[in-house]
Structure 1
């Protein structure tokens, strides 16, 4: 039984993998390939010359676009690796100088230069990451909704993010202003709650009871 189970395990994995691949291919065909071919056929019936030109141009431009995307990813990874390596080497160099040298001015100068270099590297990486994210969202919207609608949806999303980040400090200041009023109200209630009223007691007895409770 153990040998049969071991033989059946790779076969079951192969069947599961083939099932996943078939589902993925079917999903891509039903979601993208078939609707795309239908649209191309409809466009070819209405404007055959223009559709043929667009199809030929798309196939010819596929390789340059993929090459440019691969080159962009390669450049981004190269700069990221160089920046990380430079930061690591600079940090190790400063640590060694700080351990082996007694000139505090030299140490401070190297530390300032290193921090400045790291600041520039961090700024470059942050700008690159934000630019890549914004460009990726723009391409996504243009691919899903088209050129005009995608550009409008992208601009609306960017505007919403900027406005939401600008409204957060105002909400925090409102919370800070409201809290002292609640504190004063609680103090007023605590002061008023210390008074004891006895119904049916004379004025002098009520005064003595109030003095006893206050002490």
Structure 2
């Protein structure tokens, strides 16, 4: 992925990691389009970045995604980078079917549906990038958020398969796997001192994205406790530590 001159879509770009990535990519000389459900949140980000664009979409709605993809390609024919950042994370008491279905629709089916809709366009570009945002919880689940953790594990697996399928094309697949970060993803996260400060996370991510040769997974040091737990033979211990308070 070139560091400038791209046309980049970031879903979930109205807040948190998505908004922070939008700022960095815009500052580096890219055309950035942020997307999300809340027009006011998108407008607030765009107001601080002249030239940035915003479009609304519900990533849990299949028909809305298809219509959004058509508008996106028509309005931004140079689109060559898609960052699948939109996601929801909700605590589930045992099984809450409404939460589980909404989480799967947004976190997993959303990226799959949007990629399906945009893939012919991306394949026609000289070079393109699919960037998925998973989580350290893809590798060691948080029992209080079982469906969130499961969707991120599935998105990690999907990213690996898509990378292999597209290896002979001009599309690269990059996975960002954040640790807990101080954002509004869940109530209390933004103020939780155990979470990684957002500015620190984004600074480390941008440094990793600049590395050559390019990395397939962007894992900051703080997430390796989770990412590498099974590789270290410490999955049970890390799972126990992560879930001790729940």
- TM-score calculated relative to the size of structure 1: 0.17
Q: Hey, which of these two has a bigger chunk of strand by percent?
A: 2
Larger Rg belongs to: 1
- TM-score calculated relative to the size of structure 2: 0.16
Which structure has more RCO (C-alpha within 8 Å, separation ≥ 6)? Answer: 2
